[in-house]
Amino acid sequence: MPHRPAPNTSASLLERLRVAPDDAAAWGEFVDRYSVVLYDWCRQWGLQDADARDVTQAVLLKMVRRLRTFRYD
């Protein structure tokens, strides 16, 4: 499976999510940008498809909970 490079971190997108956690468009952009990278990383570590999807979802859920206090530096 080819390795996809991680996208550059978008500080402005993270800030949008922090100040407006209900911004569906920002979450859509975030998921589009980072879920594939998380999934690929899980698969490289040998997780099966369903497990990789579960871990990806769990990581994204943790991001939802933590972004309100997150500060990008």
pLDDT tens readout for residues 17-40:
888 888 999 999 999 988 999 999
Q: Is 23 left (phi over 0), alpha (psi -120 to 50) or beta?
A: beta
Quote the pLDDT of residue 52: 97
Exposure string for 20-53, b = 16+ CB within 10 A, e = fewer: eeeeeebbeebeeebeeebbbbbbeeebeeeebb
pTM equals 0.74
> How confident is the model over 58-64, as a mean pLDDT?
89
Q: How far apart are CA 27 and CA 64, in angstroms?
A: 9
- Note whether 53 and 39 are within 8 A (CB): yes
